[in-house]
C-alpha cells in the first residue's frame, strides 16, 4: 500500500462521521433558492453540490483545500493531487513515494497505441486523448471489484486504483498524441525521471529548459480543480454517480472540457492576441490597443479571456501566470500584448458597462506562456488542460465514493409546469 492510500484510509472514517453528523444536525437547512431565471441560465449560482477539494469565491478566486492558489504555486502537480485527496501537503518522503508509485503505474498497454494509430490523421487531439483513456476501460479495477459484489464502503479503494493508473499514464498518452497528430516523429519512451511534468516534456521530445519545466509544472497544477460545477467535473461526477468506472467517467468529463466555452477558451484568447500583433505588425501602443478593443466591442464581439461565471476579481491563476512571465519571459511580443491588455481592457469594459466582471480569467494568459516556450499547436492546449483537470476530477470521484454519494438525479420541469407556478 502506498502512503497516499494509507493516509487517505485514516482520514475517511472521520470524514464519514462528520458527514453523518452534518446530515443529522442540518439536513433540512436550505442552501439555495432556485428561481425560473436560474433554471433557464445554466443553474449558475445554485448551491446544490458538494465539493471538498476546492472552492471559488467571487472576490478571492480558487482555494484548494482551503489554501489560496497563490500561496501554493510552487507545488508540483503530484503534490496538488495529494493535497486534493488527503487535504494536506505531502512531506518530502510522501511526495517521493507518490512519484515512484505513479512511475510504476505509467506503462500504457500496447493496444492503446494501436487505437491511436488507427485514427484519422486530422483527428482533434482531444478526441485522440479521450479515446485513448476510454480504450483502457478493460483495465478497470473498479469494474472488476463491482462484479465481485464488494462492500459499498470499499468502492473508493478501487476508484483510487483506477484513478492513479489513469493519471500515471496521462503524460505518455498526451505526449504520444502530440507527436502523432503534429508529425513530430515516432513515439518516445519515458526517461528515468520520476517527475510527472518532466517525463511529459521528455516524451513530447522538446528541448526544454529549467524555466520551461517550471512553467509546465505551474500550468499542470493551476488547472487542477475548480469546484464541482464546471462542465467537465460535473459531467464526470454525474456519470460516476451511476457507478460507471473512472475510465468511462473521466472520458465523459473531458469530452465536455473540449467545448469552446470551457477548455478551448485559452487557444481562442491566444488567437486574439496574435491577431493584434499581426494587425499592428508588432506590439501596439496603449491608444491603439484601446481603440482595437472598442472596435471589437462595437462590432458585437467579446474580448476573449475577460469575464468569468463566478469571479468578480482578476483570476488568481491569471495572476500566477503573469507573475511567472514577468520573472522569466523577456522580449516576447505575445506576453507584452497580454500585459497591455490587462492594463487597458478592464477600464474599457467598465466604461462600456455591460460586463458583470471586467477582469481577466486564467485563459487570458495561459496560452501566451505555452506559445512563448515553443508549444504553438493551439489544438493541443486543451489536452494540457485535461491532464491537469484530471487530478481534480479523479480526486472528487474518489471522495464521492468514499462518502457513499448517491446517484445524481435532479428533477426537471416543463415550460407548461413553470407557467403554472
* Under 8 Å between Cβ of 50 and 234: no
* Under 8 Å between Cβ of 338 and 365: yes
- What whole-number distance in Å separates Cα of residue 370 and Cα of residue 379? 12
- Residue 210: predicted pLDDT: 96
Domain assignment of residue 377, yes or no: no
- Residue 287: predicted pLDDT: 96
Quick count: other Cβ atoms within 10 Å of Cβ 301?
Answer: 10
Catalytic choice (63, 223, 226, 308): 308
- Residue 264: predicted pLDDT: 79
- What whole-number distance in Å separates Cα of residue 121 and Cα of residue 180? 8
- What whole-number distance in Å separates Cα of residue 421 and Cα of residue 415? 10
- CATH number at 301 reads 1.10.230.10
Confirm whether 74 is a catalytic residue. no
- Same structural domain for residues 191 and 96? yes
Burial class (CB in 10 A: 0-12, 13-18, 19+), 295: exposed
- Same structural domain for residues 122 and 158? yes
**pLDDT averages per 10-residue partition of the chain, 421 residues:** 94 97 96 94 92 95 97 98 98 98 98 98 97 98 96 97 98 98 96 96 96 97 96 97 98 94 83 94 96 94 84 92 95 95 94 87 92 95 97 98 96 95 91
Q: In what order do the strands lie in the sheet with 61-64?
A: 54-57, 61-64, 67-68
- Residue 211: predicted pLDDT: 96
- Same structural domain for residues 15 and 51? yes
- Same structural domain for residues 341 and 418? no
- What whole-number distance in Å separates Cα of residue 373 and Cα of residue 387? 18
Residue-number span of the structural domain to which 83 is assigned: 1-259+383-421
Confirm whether 262 is a catalytic residue. yes
In angstroms, the Cα distances linking 253 to 207, 227, 296 are 32, 14, 33
Confirm whether 97 is a catalytic residue. no
- Same structural domain for residues 334 and 228? no
- What whole-number distance in Å separates Cα of residue 302 and Cα of residue 274? 16
- Same structural domain for residues 192 and 321? no
Domain assignment of residue 378, yes or no: no
- What whole-number distance in Å separates Cα of residue 307 and Cα of residue 313? 9
Domain assignment of residue 221, yes or no: yes
- Same structural domain for residues 189 and 275? no
Phi and psi (nearest 5°) for 12?
Answer: -60, -45
Catalytic choice (63, 226, 262, 372): 262
- Same structural domain for residues 406 and 325? no
Joined together, the cell numbers standing for residue 238 give: 454525474
- Same structural domain for residues 395 and 316? no
- The residue with cell 415550460 is 415
- CATH number at 152 reads 1.10.580.10
- Same structural domain for residues 18 and 133? yes
Instruction: Please tell me the total count of domains within the chain.
Output: 2
- What whole-number distance in Å separates Cα of residue 378 and Cα of residue 270? 8
- Give the up-direction half-sphere exposure of residue 388: CA atoms within 13 A in the CB hemisphere: 20
- Residue 261: predicted pLDDT: 84
Joined together, the cell numbers standing for residue 324 give: 511567472
- C-alpha closest to that of 363 among 278, 324, 306, 296: 306
- Same structural domain for residues 302 and 396? no
In angstroms, the Cα distances linking 73 to 79, 189, 354, 356, 378 are 11, 29, 33, 28, 24
Joined together, the cell numbers standing for residue 179 give: 507527436
- The residue with cell 515512484 is 100
Domain assignment of residue 23, yes or no: yes
- This prediction has a pTM of 0.96
- Same structural domain for residues 277 and 252? no
Residue partners of 260: CB distance under 8 A and separation at least 6: 268
- C-alpha closest to that of 203 among 217, 215, 189: 189
Amino acid at each position: 500500500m502506498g502512503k497516499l492510500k494509507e493516509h487517505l484510509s485514516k482520514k475517511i472514517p472521520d470524514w464519514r462521521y462528520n458527514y453523518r453528523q452534518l446530515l443529522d444536525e442540518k439536513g433540512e437547512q436550505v442552501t439555495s433558492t432556485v428561481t425560473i431565471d436560474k433554471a433557464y441560465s445554466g443553474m449558475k449560482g445554485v448551491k446544490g453540490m458538494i465539493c471538498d477539494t476546492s472552492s471559488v469565491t467571487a472576490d478571492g478566486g480558487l482555494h484548494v483545500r482551503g489554501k489560496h492558489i497563490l500561496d501554493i504555486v510552487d507545488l508540483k502537480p503530484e503534490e496538488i493531487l495529494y493535497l486534493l485527496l488527503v487535504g494536506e501537503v505531502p512531506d518530502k518522503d510522501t511526495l517521493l513515494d507518490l512519484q515512484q508509485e505513479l512511475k510504476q503505474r505509467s506503462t500504457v498497454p500496447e493496444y492503446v497505441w494501436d487505437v491511436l494509430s488507427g485514427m484519422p490523421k486530422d483527428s482533434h487531439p482531444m478526441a485522440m486523448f479521450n479515446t485513448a483513456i476510454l480504450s483502457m476501460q478493460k483495465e478497470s479495477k473498479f469494474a472488476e471489484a463491482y462484479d465481485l459484489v464488494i462492500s459499498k464502503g470499499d468502492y473508493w479503494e478501487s476508484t483510487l486504483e483506477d484513478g492513479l493508473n489513469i493519471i500515471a499514464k496521462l503524460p505518455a498518452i498526451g505526449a504520444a498524441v502530440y507527436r502523432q497528430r503534429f508529425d513530430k516523429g515516432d513515439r518516445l519512451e519515458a526517461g528515468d525521471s520520476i517527475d510527472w511534468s518532466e517525463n511529459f516534456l521528455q516524451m513530447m521530445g522538446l528541448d526544454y529548459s529549467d524555466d520551461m519545466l517550471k512553467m509546465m509544472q505551474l500550468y499542470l497544477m493551476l488547472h487542477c480543480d475548480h469546484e464541482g460545477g464546471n462542465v467537465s467535473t460535473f459531467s464526470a461526477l454525474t456519470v460516476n454517480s451511476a457507478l460507471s468506472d473512472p475510465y468511462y467517467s473521466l472520458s465523459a468529463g473531458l469530452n465536455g472540457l473540449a467545448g469552446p466555452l470551457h477548455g478551448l477558451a485559452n487557444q481562442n484568447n491566444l488567437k486574439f492576441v496574435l491577431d493584434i500583433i499581426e494587425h499592428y505588425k508588432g506590439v501596439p501602443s496603449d491608444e491603439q490597443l484601446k481603440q482595437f478593443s472598442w472596435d471589437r466591442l462595437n462590432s458585437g464581439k467579446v474580448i476573449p479571456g475577460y469575464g468569468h461565471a463566478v469571479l468578480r476579481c482578476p483570476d488568481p491563476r491569471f495572476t500566477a501566470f503573469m507573475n511567472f512571465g514577468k520573472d522569466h519571459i523577456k522580449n516576447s511580443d505575445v506576453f507584452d500584448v497580454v500585459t497591455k491588455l490587462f492594463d487597458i481592457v478592464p477600464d474599457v469594459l467598465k466604461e462600456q458597462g455591460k460586463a458583470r466582471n471586467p477582469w481577466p480569467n486564467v485563459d487570458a494568459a495561459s496560452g501566451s506562456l505555452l506559445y512563448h516556450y515553443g508549444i504553438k499547436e493551439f489544438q493541443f492546449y486543451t489536452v494540457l488542460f485535461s491532464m491537469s483537470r484530471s487530478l481534480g476530477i479523479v480526486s472528487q470521484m474518489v471522495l464521492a465514493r468514499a462518502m457513499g454519494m448517491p446517484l445524481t438525479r435532479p428533477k426537471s420541469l416543463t415550460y407548461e409546469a413553470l407557467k403554472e407556478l
